[in-house]
Amino acid sequence: MSREILSMKDIVKCYDMGEEQQTILDHIDFSVREGEFVSILGPSGSGKSTMMNILGCLDVPTSGYYKLSGNDVDHMEERELARIRNREVGFVFQAFQLLPRLTAAENVELPLIYAGVNASERRERAASMLDRVGLSHKMEHYPNQLSGGQQQRVAIARAMVTQPTILLADEPTGALDQKTGRQVMELFQELNREGRTIIMITHDEQIARNASRIVRILDGKLTEEESDV
């Protein structure tokens, strides 16, 4: 049995809306084991983006407990959260979020700069990751010289370059056509077979079914779970 690398217990997230308080996440229990590929599936307004922000250490819960790789992150200060984010989480976003004035290789190197890795090692690791996603021939290309699918592959390489504990993907095919989205999902499945732990946030049932486990979220509650889909 693989080890548990992420655990949420009784997570609540509330926001003040004038004189009222709105509960976005309502007593969430959720865990992920090393090497899993999990989809969190839910419609707009279900709470999945808030859950992603807490999973990715971009926000903290109002109450409850969240442990990531042995770190209690539920009430960390921003500096501590930033350190955990850089070390433990690789983000893949719908809009790619590549810097337009940097080449593919330079975009992939960015997290390593923040981690204090020297220039020669940064370039070597970026080249290795771009080769892994099939873009070794595009290292010196700028984002506007790449297709949408290629830009998302660069973003995946950037997310992986620090060897994070989890890859956290937010609607990773949302800006892609169906064929290109399918290719990106095939890449995620390959990475998972190699041992990468992946959590994917999506509203799309068909995309969610690329994962080996689906957790449904609705009105801030985890309502259903499917395994080995």
pLDDT in tens, 48-73: 999 999 999 999 999 999 999 999 99
Confidence at residue 226, expressed as pLDDT on a 0 to 100 scale: 66
Per-residue pLDDT at 87: 87
What does the pLDDT read at residue 229? 46
Give pLDDT, residue 75.
81
Strand 166-170 vs strand 71-72: parallel, antiparallel, or unpaired?
A: unpaired
Q: At what angle do helices 119-132 and 148-160 cross, to 10 degrees?
A: 130
Angle between helices 104-114 and 119-132 (to 10 degrees): 130
Beta-sheet strand order (sheet of 213-218):
89-92, 166-170, 198-202, 37-41, 213-218, 221-227
Q: What does DSSP assign to residue 136?
A: G
Which H or E element spans position 51?
Answer: helix 48-55
**Low-confidence residues of the chain: pLDDT under 70:** 1, 226-229
Closest CA to 25 of 42, 15, 16, 12: 12
Helix, strand, coil percent values for the chain (each to nearest 5): 35, 30, 35
Residue 198 and residue 189: Cα distance in Å, rounded?
9
Prediction pTM value: 0.92
pLDDT of residue 227: 58
